[in-house]
Homo-oligomer: A and B are copies of this chain.
Amino acid sequence: MKHCLWILLGISMMSAADESPIAIALHGGAGTIERGAMSEELEATYRAFLHDAVTSGYEQLREGRSGLDVVVTVIQMMEDSPLFNAGRGAVYTWNGAHELDASIMHGEKLDAGAVAGLSTVQSPIALARTVMEGSPHVMLAGPGAEAFAQEQGFDPVSPEYFGTERRREALEAYKADEQAGRKPEADHKFGTVGVVVLDQAGNLVAGTSTGGMTGKRWGRIGDSPVIGAGTYADNRSCAVSATGHGEYFIRHTVARDICARMQFGAATLEEAARTVVIEELVAAGGEGGIVAVDPAGKVAMVFNTPGMYRASIDATSRKVVGIYGEDETP
């Protein structure tokens, strides 16, 4: 009789393990993304990419890969694509250079790594992970961060690696606007990528990677490498990656605040995300959006801009791929 109980308990635990929820959500930047401003062909390219990236991440989670591995590999797909402002395809600084930022956080023990102002590192998200796992620090910047990368065996790439004609033209348009005293093109601030997951072990992980703002000067650091602003993960509440006008996301500690409203204020993920992005940020004038996942595998993808490149698969296996505001949300 006792034996039977142990066997039954064992079976129920195995089945609970098989059923442990998994979920993933990703973004490729928010902004003035409107139907009609994009060719059908380019739109289809984005949709196919977002679909493939989220499916790849979900399959890896199903196979039991760690959330850290999944966040890094999916962000690397996006860093390697010129479609997004991260890695290859990063925007240009005022001086015609590239300065890339990234961060990653693991929700179990709140481990985190962040890098800022990189010019020669092919995958900033990989270096952020190495800072987390291979250094006593959380945040490294500039030439010091690149020296650390080389000590850790990262081969430097030449600045040309990141360059694309589309982003070069965006810099020229930005400078022409600024120098003529016109308001620069609306979207020079956007295009960051980010991934959040819940893995089979119940860990929440978030990562973000960006090329920053077109025409940025003075060693500006945005929200992407700032833990609590562009990225946060805590198994007790949620994992968040943000994209948008970084200064507002730093001042409102957007990623941490969404989790904090769940942890201290008992909000649901969707309520917390909407309060921060739709109420607080809109009142302050901060444009952008977030993707987030909670410990039950619920997903939120919330933005206050016309569009956000996004995709998710939640714990019920429901898949969503969207670009414009009127596309379905999770």
Contact = CB atoms under 8 A, between A and B. Distances in A.
A123 interface: no
Interface string A202-218: 00000000000000011
A131 to B, nearest CB: 9
A135 B218 CA distance: 10
Interface string A243-280: 00011001111001100110011000000000000000
A121 interface: no
A226 B264 contact: no
A264 to B, nearest CB: 3
A117 to B, nearest CB: 6
Copies held by the complex: 2
B117 A141 contact: yes
A250 B220 contact: no
A230 to B, nearest CB: 11
A71 to B, nearest CB: 17
Nearest to A145: B219
Contacts of A232: 253
A139 B220 contact: yes
A288 interface: no
28 contacts: A110-B251, A116-B141, A116-B221, A117-B144, A135-B218, A136-B247, A138-B247, A139-B222, A139-B250, A140-B218, A140-B221, A141-B221, A142-B219, A144-B217, A147-B219, A148-B217, A148-B218, A226-B226, A226-B227, A226-B228, A232-B253, A256-B256, A256-B260, A257-B260, A260-B260, A260-B264, A261-B264, A264-B264
Interface of A: 105, 109-112, 116-117, 135-145, 147-148, 217-222, 226-229, 232, 246-247, 250-253, 256-257, 260-261, 264-265, 284
